[in-house]
A and B are shown apart, each in its own frame.
Chain A
């Protein structure tokens, strides 16, 4: 089975629950995600949280962010697009393993869960483009 679905959400913290529910709904279509669904939803939600928190610095905006979920050839690809401040890749750092603080924990989770994390400045209408991949 292959599928591709996308949805746009307002860039605000209250969208995070909607994003999780969107992901759960999409992933539920394919039994292969049954055991990893919670992890995938967490990784996606952490990436979306980073957009609200860092790309927009927690400031109110009328912008939206786009979430694409694509499954093909046993590879799950999740893409997030936003129009916030361009991220500086060298500043996107997971926390050190023995560092007892919350900062960077979301990025650490994403790295633990996904097989591949690719960040680039978008060439389309968006600014930041994050791709998360997991192989099944």
Chain B
């Protein structure tokens, strides 16, 4: 997994790339959580994520919940077909914010 962060005003966009599994979830959290804790609205661009398992989904859930606790939001953008399929299998498409 690799990533790139761009910031514009209060919006931080994290472009994730590659396969997100148990092996990289800590790294993903280390990237995303500080942005949420800093009060940013975080956009996760998942266009280049080819694979995500339950550990990756847990990062999405925890990020969503942390942002909600702080009165903010995490928005999932340009979700790849394979990741969307997993989100839908987890029945989370109505819970997570998807644009």
Contact = CB atoms under 8 A, between A and B. Distances in A.
Interface of A: 13-14, 16-17, 20, 38, 41-42, 45-46, 49, 52-53, 97, 100-102, 105-106, 108-109, 112-113
Interface of B: 19, 21-23, 51, 53-55, 57-58, 61-62, 65, 82, 85-86, 89-92, 95
Main DSSP-derived SS at the A contact region: helix
B54 A100 contact: no
Contacts of A97: 91
A49 B57 contact: no
Given A17-B23, A42-B86, A45-B53, 15 more contacts: A13-B23, A16-B21, A20-B51, A46-B54, A49-B22, A49-B53, A49-B54, A52-B22, A53-B22, A101-B58, A102-B54, A102-B55, A105-B54, A106-B53, A113-B89
Contacts of B90: 105, 108-109
Given A38-B82, A97-B91, A112-B89, A105 B57 contact: yes
Contacts of B85: 38
Contacts of A13: 21-23
Nearest to B58: A102
Q: Report the 6 A-B pairs with minimum CB-CB distance, sorted nearest first.
A: A102-B58, A105-B54, A106-B54, A13-B23, A13-B22, A16-B21
9 contacts: A16-B21, A16-B23, A17-B19, A52-B22, A100-B65, A105-B57, A106-B55, A109-B90, A113-B89
Nearest to B92: A100
A25 B85 CA distance: 22
